[in-house]
Amino acid sequence: MKNATHLRKLKGVFTMLQGLNFVLLHVTDSEKATAFYTEKLGLAIELQQGSFVQFKQPMGQGASFAISQEGDGRPIQSVELWWYVDDADATYADLVAKDVPVVQQLKDEPFGRTFAIKDPSGNTLYIMRLADHLR
């Protein structure tokens, strides 16, 4: 493995993975999901082809996020999607005013202030303001 060109040494550890680049969420209705992510969460569409919609990265940061109407339509429960925000309380109030279903009320965790919402396909999305000591 010493001469493998696909491995990279980072802080003394060899790794093939260099970062999460793309997240694709399967949804039951791409039109409803697109409206939710643009109108309720404020994401902008970067690319749309049929039921596949890719959104622009907020502030040019993080992995690319896309939705596609595929699969059996059941919500994904074994994966957690976390979105960072500057102000969890203001974001919470804004989403509640937009009638977004809240499934976990605002609470303080050791890593930040959090809450969770549901998208139209039933996927849980976690929203977090990172704790000051971690920024």
DSSP states along 110-123: TTEEEEEEE-TTS-
- Binned at pLDDT 50, 70 and 90, residue 3 comes out as very low
Domain residue spans in the chain? 19-134
**Percent above pLDDT 70 for the chain:** 82
CA distances from 58 to 7, 19, 44, 65 (A): 30, 17, 8, 10
Q: What is the pLDDT of residues 64-120, one digit of tens each?
A: 999 999 877 677 667 889 999 999 999 999 999 999 999 999 999 999 999 999 999
Residue written as token pair 């993975």: 17
Indicate the residue type of 68.
S
Is 37 or 121 the better-scoring residue by pLDDT?
A: 37
Is-contact 103 114, C-beta < 8 A? no
Burial string for 31-68 (b: 16+ CB within 10 Å, else e) reads eebbebbeebbebeeeeeeebebbbeeeeeeeeebbbb
The burial of 121, by beta-carbon neighbours within 10 Å (0-12 exposed, 13-18 middle, 19 or more buried), is given as buried
Is-contact 39 130, C-beta < 8 A? no
DSSP helix/strand/coil, 97: helix
Look up the CATH architecture of domain 19-134. Answer: Roll (3.10)
In the sheet that holds 112-118, the strands lie side by side as 81-84, 124-130, 112-118, 102-109
